[in-house]
Each structure stands twice: as structure tokens, then as C-alpha cells.
Amino acid sequence: MEASVEQLVYVREDAYTVARMSADGEPGFVATGRALAGVQPGETLRLFGEWGRHPRHGRRFAVSGCERVTPSSVRAIRIYLGSGLVRGIGPRLAYAIVDHFGEATLKVIDSEPERLTEVVNIGPQRQGQIVQAWQEQKAIAALMVTLQGLGVSPLLAAKIYQVFGQDADEVLATDPYRLIGRVRGIAFRVADRIALQSGVPERSPQRVKAALLDRLDAAGSRDGHCYVPLSALVRETAELIEQDQELVRPMIDALVADRRLVVETAPDRLNAPHGAGAGAGAPYGSGAVVVYAKHVHAREVALTEQITRLMSARSTLPLRSFPDDPGLHDDQRAAVNMALTCTVSVITGGPGCGKSHTVKAIATTVRAAGGTVTLTAPTGKAAKRLSELTGLPAMTVHRMLAQQPDPDPETLFDERPSQADLIVVDEASMLDLHLATRLTAAVPSGSHLLLIGDSDQLPSIGPGDVLADLLRAEAVPRVRLTHVFRQAGGSGIIDAAHRIRAGRLPVRTAGGGFWFEELDDPAQVARRVAHLAMVAIPRKQGVEPGQVQVLCPMRRGETGATALGRLIQDQLNPAADDKPEHWYGASVFRVGDRVMPIRNNYDKGVFNGETGTVTSVVPEERQIEILTDDGESVRYGFDELDDLTHAYAISVHRSQGSEYPFVVAPIVAESGGIMLRRKLLYTLVTRAKAWVVLVGQREALELAVHRLGHRRNTGLARRLQLSLDTDP
């Protein structure tokens, strides 16, 4: 039958779709199936399938196949144009266009678009916008058909078109491996499926090279490694493409010649993986020769050079000594003197050990002597928290690097923040290789760079382990704050954190703040976490649900961030007839949703890790608007929604640099509990200010406490040690 899509009800990550449809003789029915992947409200479809009855949801049409067809009736055309599928046309304008052209409307738009100006309120500019949007929509629809024929999810069509535009078909036909790394959601396996279907030989050089680069990229994006031992890279690549290792080795040489890889002798044991070998938890063993992606190698070398430059420079700080302050502990005084005398230094320590108070003492001293200070952190939330804890202004590292002075003259920022006498970077464990290289390159010789961070927290999302590497390089000055102050000692959160750090199970203390609720079944765990976040904690503590953050060790699975986030979204912000929404892949964005940017966007002025609320969804403009927690209004086009994620439940990695009044988290050994390890649990617990509640399996909690995980493969510590030892 032919039917129009009225509303998307549900889209799963595997593209299984539930939609409300209408058709002559069958008004208001439900259709289901993966064949509906990528359909949008307003489209007219030719459906193939059979009627059935769901025990809970009643009668529905199970779709085995579907084809997009051009709407023919006036009503269907009006619904199609008014749905927002074509940018620039909303319900009112759709009514006017269809009223003027009737059943010939779509033929006019397609073949005689100049006639659109016959309609009131359509001038040449809007007419051009409508025609462009119409052509884009046709191209994406055709691309969906192509992908479906290749056995690939049609949900990727819009993403591919966004990157490659009219060249998308040519890329799919001639070099599908170009999709890797450029289209979110497409790694080697998807691109390889397209390539093999398109006739690319299994032993072709382009296939082997793509697999090599994929394995190297996966080591960086998944595990944070900067390099992979040559033997492991060859073995894993051969396994991925199911070919002999002899086919792989020559392609490494070719990629080195193309300046895309660097092969060199492995760093010595100073920086080798923990217990390299079987069962050690490290995905890659040690080897005599290692392989870097060219851009990663270049940044590691550049970061070494920049830190060496800064440490070798003569200090220009106006003050080099610190008057004795009886309010500081001995290790805090040592940290202050170090920061004032060393051009590069590190302060590390756990929660409650006075890192923020120490930073305030250092910054106040420098300013009192007439020097300038810039306080920074990798994310907006971390910068805001640093400002609150020290009582001094702070900005993001990205803003500092953009050389944007604070508009408020009372904040005392230097006009060029990266040129300050002292630059402090809090939450330095979040610095990846790329950001650390940009940061150090911006600091002038003679200025002091002070990195503050908890080395027991998770390392950066991106490749590298900068803070840990600096602490491993003996020549870099550092102080570890270990004294837990009395006011912090009574906190159940801080007590739990220090127990986890020492490899002991956290326990409930008299002061409260930490709670573990034991449940075994993952489905029950998910429901209990959602109930605690939405109902129990807000009711007991007298707070809004927005003050309770769900953090998840995993993204996938019943207790992963994706499933839990959707469960909470459906309860706190369900679909409603009067509430605009837009489906993007398997995610739906509604007015009132809590969202988080996952990429820095300098044009929009938003950065990874900030949070905001969706304030409008405008189908005719194909965009949504969010209001950030800092009060900024930002617009995202429907084709930019890859840059946003829902914030109802987020991964522990995405929570770094943030603090929340209340944290609830599932602790379940799904998929072998591959993400459960000590640093992740420690980071999770230290995100909470008032209470942290863990729900799940005791054996999973024990696994997280006792599993150390692997050390990242990096060469920075060794390079620094060699450079600083030989520097004159």
C-alpha cells in the first residue's frame, strides 16, 4: 500500500523504526521494521509487508520493504512540503504553494522552479533556497536507496551527503575508504562492505592501506595510544581483512613513503605498557619497532620541543619567592615555591587535598607583585568550577588560544591571555596531545606554565597521556599534595575516592555522601538508576531532576548511556502533539531536552562538555536552537546534529572537568565489563559534590576497583627525558 509518514515514534540504533502512518482506508496505523530506516515525516512510501498484532501495542504493519514515491494527492503534497523536509517551507507556505499549483506542485518545483515566485511571499532569494533544498533532499533520498542496496544503513545517507555533496555517489563507487574518518559512524568495516560490493579486490593496495590506518586510528581513538608495535599492527590488520601478513608489510613501507606513517625504534621501558603480554590488560604488546600516524608523531615531537623551550628559558616572573603563610600545609608551601621558581611545573593530588587553595595563593601572590595571571581549564564547566573554587576569573584553554580577551575589564585578564606571566591549567589530565601542543606553543619563553591535575583520573579522550608523561619525566618539577584537610575528611565521596585510589572497596561512612545498592540484573539496574535520577533523589533531597546526573561506564548495552538516556528522556520529556521534535538517526531532539556539544565549535562559541537546553525546533528552517547553561543562544542545523548528544545520561569520559550535586551510576559487567577499571571508577565518584549512588553488581564494583587497565603507548616521557638531559 501507499501511505504517508505522520510521525516517527521510535528509532533504534540498528535502524529498526516505528512510525505512525496514514493511508486511504487505513488512517492512523503503525508500521515497523528496519526497512523504514531513514524515513521522515511527510514522505509518501510504498510499503510491502503483512499485518500482525503486538501483544502490548496492538495491530501494526510489519514492513519488509519500502520505496519512496512522489506524493500525488493535494493532501499528501501539503503534508510533505509542510513537514520541514524542504528547508524554507513551513506549514503556512506549503498551504499557499499547494493552493496555487494543486497536484502539479512538485512537478513545478522540480521542472519549473522559477514559477514559485508566483506565490505570495516567495521572492527570488527564497525561491533559490527552496530549489537548493529540494535538490539536496532528492539526492539524499537517492543515496538512501543506494546504501540500502549495498547492505548499509540508510541513516548514514545524510551524513555522507553533508561531507561529499554531489560527489557522494562517485565516492561510493570509486573509493569508499574515503568515508573513514570523515563521516561519523563509518569506520573500516562499513566502508569495506561498500567497497567489496562495489568490486574492489580483497587484496587491493587501497584496501590494505585503509585497514592499516583504521587499526592505527582505532588504537588512538579507542585506547588513547600514540603508537602501536609494528608486529601487533601487522597482525591485527591481517586479521581484519582476513589476508596473509606478507600482504600487509609492503603497504606499511608505502604509507611511510607517502608520509602518512612513521616507523621508529620503540621507547624503552620507562614508557612501555604495564606487563606487556598475554592477560596484562594492554591491547598491544611491546615490540622493538613501533608505528605512529604521521600527525601524531609530529605533535609528540613538537610538544617535547615546546616543553624543553619553556623549561630552558629564563623566568620573567616579577616575584620568585613566597612569604610564609601559616594557613598553608607544608606540601602546599612547597607547591607554591615550585610554581614561582620553575617555568614549567605540575601539582597533582586527590580530592580534598587543597589544589584549588594552592592555586589561589600562587595567583594572588603573582598579581600582588604586578604580574599577570591566566587561569584556564580544558572545558567551560571546568573553568567555571576553577573560578568558583579560587574566587578568581578563569577561561577555557580554547578561548585563551583564540586570543579573545574577556569583555569584563574587572577580571584582570591580560589583553592576550596566553602571554600572561603565569598560566595555570586545571584538570590537566584532560589535555590530549593535540591540545597540549597548541597550548605550549602559545606560551612565550619566560612565562610560567603550571599544570594542575589528578593523575589518578581518566586520561584525555584523545590520544596521549600528557599529565602522566610529565610526571614520569623526572626532570619536570612536580609536587603531589597528599594531606586531606579536616573539612574534607568527613565527606563520604572523598573517603570513597581515596579508598578506590588505594585499591580498596568504597564503603558508606557516617557522614554520608556515598551509597552502593546491590542489584544483579542489568535491566533492573537500568530501571533503578532511572528511578533514582528522576524520582527518588529529587524527592528526598528537594531538588530538580536536572541536578542529578547519570554517568555510565559504557555507551552501549542495557545500562549504557544511550539506552539509559533514552529511558530518562522518554520519562522527563516525552513526545507530545504540541511539542516540536526532529529525529536524527536514532536520536530525537525535542524542545526541553538537555543536550551537550561533543565538538568544539569556535564559530558558535560552544565547546565540548558544555550543557544546554533545546528551546526551539524549527522544521521549516531545518534547525534547532539551544540555550547554554551560560545563557548563550546557539543554533544548530539539522545537518549539524552529529555535534550534539543528549545529556540525560553521559559517559564518564564526557563528565571530566565537571561536577554535579548528585551522581547516579550503573556498575554492571556487561560485555565483560571492558570499561570497568580503577581510574574510571575514581573519576566517576569524584564528579559528585553531595552524593554519589552506585547501583549494580558487587563483583563488577570489585572488578572496577582492582583492575588497573593499561598504560597508553606514548613516547613523550622518554623524549622529554632525553631532551632535558642533553639540553645545555
Annotated binding site for ATP: 352-356
The SS3 call for residue 536 is helix
Torsion sign, CA atoms 26, 28, 31, 35: positive
Neighbours of 124 (CB within 10 A): 10
Hey, what amino acid is at 488? A
The SS3 call for residue 141 is helix
Determine the longest span between alpha carbons in the chain, in angstroms: 87
Q: Which of 527, 473, 458, 509 is nearest to 676 (CA)?
A: 458
Place of cell 549512588: 693
CA atoms of 582 and 644, how far apart (whole Å):
13
CA R_g for the chain: 28
Beta carbons of 441 and 394 less than 8 angstroms apart: no
Q: Where are the alpha helices (DSSP H) in 543-677?
A: 561-572
688-696: strand order across its sheet: 514-518, 688-696, 660-667, 548-552, 649-651
Beta carbons of 112 and 131 less than 8 angstroms apart: no
Place of cell 577580571: 411
Q: Which of 228, 356, 367, 211 is nearest to 296 (CA)?
A: 228
The SS3 call for residue 625 is strand
Residue 698's region, left for phi above 0, alpha for psi from -120 to 50, else beta, is: alpha
Binding-site residues: 352-356
Beta carbons of 380 and 605 less than 8 angstroms apart: no
Q: Which helix (H) or strand (E) holds 538?
A: helix 537-541
Exposure letters 436-455 (e unless 16+ CB within 10 A, then b): bbbbbebbeeebbbbbbbbb
By 3-state DSSP, what share of the chain in percent is helix, strand and coil, each rounded to 5? 45, 20, 35
User: Could you say which DSSP state residue 459 is in?
Assistant: -
Beta carbons of 681 and 433 less than 8 angstroms apart: no
Show the cell assigned to 606: 560552544
Output phi, psi for 103, to 5 deg: -70, -10
Exposure letters 225-244 (e unless 16+ CB within 10 A, then b): bbbbbbbbbbbbbbebbebe
Place of cell 493511508: 23
Q: What is the DSSP track for 559-585?
A: TSHHHHHHHHHHHHS---TTS-EEEET
Place of cell 584556564: 376
CA atoms of 240 and 252, how far apart (whole Å):
15
CA atoms of 706 and 692, how far apart (whole Å):
20
Show the cell assigned to 578: 504540541
Q: Where are the alpha helices (DSSP H) in 84-204?
A: 91-101, 105-111, 124-149, 157-164, 168-174, 188-197
Beta carbons of 587 and 641 less than 8 angstroms apart: yes
